[in-house]
Amino acid sequence: MTETLVPFDEVIAKYDPALGLEVHVELNTNTKMFCGCPTVFGGEPNTQVCPTCLGLPGAMPVVNAKAVESAIRIGLALNCSIAEWCRFARKNYFYPDMPKNFQTSQYDEPIAFDGWLDVEVEGETFRVEIERAHMEEDTGKSTHVGGATGRIHGADYSLVDYNRAGIPLIEIVTRPILVPAEKAPAVARAYVGQLRDLILALGVSDARMDQGSIRADVNLSLAPKGADKLGTRSETKNVNSLRSVERAVRFEMSRHAGILDAGGAVLQETRHFHEDTGTTSSGREKSDAEDYRYFPEPDLVPVAPSREWVEELRGTLPENPTQKRARLQEEWGFSDLEMRDTVGAGALDLVEQTVAAGAAPQAARKWWLTELARRANDAGVELGDLAVTPAQVAEVQSLVDAKTINDKLARQVFDGLLAGEGTPAEIIAARGLAVVSDEGALSAAVDKAIAENPDIADKIRDGKVAAAGALIGAIMKEMRGQADAGRVRELILEKLS
Ligand SMILES: [Zn+2]
């Protein structure tokens, strides 16, 4: 079927979108949701399974207390109410990667409900209302072999790995997000991004979108501007990067508008997102909740967290990442651009730790975002994975401040640190990097430079002080960058005045 895509500018002139985001967070508990199987990522297929997570007859599940704790902390961080009593429910459907033929989830009794998250887009704040955050288990993973697309259609055979079956998930569901049409793609992206930051700050998941430990389903519908009823929604499943969230919203808006402009009806269905083209394609027609025949799980006791425990967990919440960012920006005196670059480079925590170790914020930012970012890029690793610690960066800067070394020599100290040559002080000693500020040696070097560059010396004698730069350059070169440049300049001007 060919689709008519309406240009985004035309979509936003005619229609209002309603967004809905369902984000699945895989928790980083050591064991699964209802059994003691390990949750380590990347194990040999079907080695981390037992009768319970394989759904064998007679196997009895037991709730993982740590997963409940993480669910409550996520709920509290999202400003939710925490249920005093709630149950798990069976969501019945058949799928080969779901061995029990039902998923143990929560239905009308979620552990957390009625919250919100304030999302910032280009300096503007949008409140996203959270309908619920509930606990459930992950399914296994199917691999379809032989087809061109990796999907089941056209595949020769399929393999199922149940290692993932039963890993604890928290599903966080928003209420319809009604924002100005032109902002919808950016708000969707910002929401998922800020939710990810919050999850990371809570330490309840490794929050890797690329490994699927955070997955977003993007619901979208359009209605003609001014309509009092929401349109029919599509649900784009398992979108795996922030950029893709934004693109999926944009594409679906254009696609829905094409159908509505032609007088058609949008089908309520799930869709697949294609990273390579930024487009979606039809998945399956979406079941309504009643098709799942939810009923309370008879094999599990209800979860009834005491108010004392909930309050205790509230005390463990980290500072909200968005607020923390604003606080640090003010404390550090960074411009919006400097802050954005720092966050974008993944250097916020590193700069924070470097400042905590005694460096000035601008110096900390400078080293991480220039010299060290370049080296991380060259090595193809994350900034935080470089073999240089924030404490070492602070130490290097303190040696610069003390004029033991200058910025140029500091770069060589970083070379030494990355090569594992020891502490900054050891590297300076071993490589002979200290700045020369010995008066006799500097004076001799200045005399030599003056003798070798009589034309420049004459200019300086005539009052053209700017010409001193050329002499300083010659001396720094001669002394392999190790001269105290400030003192050299003073000596030149003294000798030629
Ligand atoms: Zn198991």
- DSSP characters for 266-324? ---EEEEEETTTTEEEEEEEPPPGGGG--EE-TTSPPB---HHHHHHHHTTPPPPHHHH
Q: What's the 33 CA to ligand 1 centre distance in angstroms?
A: 9
User: Is 218 within 8 Å of 18 (Cβ atoms)?
Assistant: no
**Could you give the CA distance from residue 459 to residue 471 in angstroms, rounded to a whole number?**
11
Q: What's the 35 CA to ligand 1 centre distance in angstroms?
A: 5
Cβ contacts of 96-101, under 8 Å, gap ≥ 24: 96/142, 96/158, 96/160, 97/139, 97/140, 97/141, 97/142, 97/160, 97/162, 97/165, 98/139, 98/140, 98/165, 99/53, 99/54, 99/55, 99/140, 99/162, 99/165, 100/55, 101/55
Q: What's the 291 CA to ligand 1 centre distance in angstroms?
A: 27
Question: Which pLDDT value is given to residue 286?
Answer: 64
**Both structure tokens of 254:** 């254009």
Q: What's the 313 CA to ligand 1 centre distance in angstroms?
A: 27
Question: How many angstroms separate the Cα of 447 from the Cα of each of 95, 295, 362, 439, 471?
Answer: 85, 92, 36, 12, 10
Question: Which pLDDT value is given to residue 133?
Answer: 98
Q: What's the 61 CA to ligand 1 centre distance in angstroms?
A: 9
**Listed residue (88, 50, 51) closest to 67, CA to CA:** 88
Burial class (CB in 10 A: 0-12, 13-18, 19+), 58: exposed
Q: What's the 50 CA to ligand 1 centre distance in angstroms?
A: 4
Q: What's the 105 CA to ligand 1 centre distance in angstroms?
A: 16
Q: What's the 166 CA to ligand 1 centre distance in angstroms?
A: 7
Q: What's the 427 CA to ligand 1 centre distance in angstroms?
A: 51
Q: What's the 203 CA to ligand 1 centre distance in angstroms?
A: 23
Question: Which pLDDT value is given to residue 404?
Answer: 85
**Could you give the CA distance from residue 443 to residue 421 in angstroms, rounded to a whole number?**
33
Query: Could you tell me how far CA 244 lies from the centroid of its own chain?
Result: 14
**Listed residue (204, 265, 261, 199) closest to 232, CA to CA:** 265
Model confidence pTM above 0.75: yes
Q: What's the 55 CA to ligand 1 centre distance in angstroms?
A: 9
**Both structure tokens of 442:** 């500097």
Q: What's the 21 CA to ligand 1 centre distance in angstroms?
A: 30
Q: What's the 348 CA to ligand 1 centre distance in angstroms?
A: 38
Q: How many residues are recorded in the chain? A: 497
Q: What's the 162 CA to ligand 1 centre distance in angstroms?
A: 9
pLDDT per residue, tens digit, the chain (497 aa), is: 568 899 999 999 999 999 999 999 999 999 999 999 999 988 999 999 999 999 999 999 999 999 999 999 999 999 999 999 999 999 998 888 998 999 999 999 999 999 999 998 887 899 999 999 999 999 999 999 988 777 788 899 999 999 999 999 999 999 999 999 999 999 999 999 999 999 999 999 999 888 889 999 999 999 999 898 999 999 999 899 999 999 999 999 999 999 999 999 999 999 999 988 999 998 877 666 668 899 999 999 999 999 999 999 999 999 988 889 999 999 999 999 999 899 888 899 999 999 999 999 999 999 999 999 999 999 888 888 888 999 999 999 999 998 888 888 899 999 999 999 999 989 988 888 877 777 888 888 889 889 998 988 888 888 888 888 888 888 888 877 778 888 888 888 888 87
- Residue 105's H or E segment, with its range, is strand 102-105
**Could you give the CA distance from residue 368 to residue 174 in angstroms, rounded to a whole number?**
36
Question: Which pLDDT value is given to residue 287?
Answer: 60
Question: How many angstroms separate the Cα of 393 from the Cα of each of 147, 369, 423?
Answer: 51, 12, 11
Question: Which pLDDT value is given to residue 2?
Answer: 67
- Does residue 263 sit in helix, strand or coil? coil
Q: What's the 139 CA to ligand 1 centre distance in angstroms?
A: 12
Residue type, 73: R
Q: What's the 95 CA to ligand 1 centre distance in angstroms?
A: 18
**Listed residue (167, 175, 61, 156) closest to 115, CA to CA:** 175
Question: Which pLDDT value is given to residue 248?
Answer: 97
Q: What's the 36 CA to ligand 1 centre distance in angstroms?
A: 6
Q: What's the 258 CA to ligand 1 centre distance in angstroms?
A: 47
**Both structure tokens of 290:** 């009643």
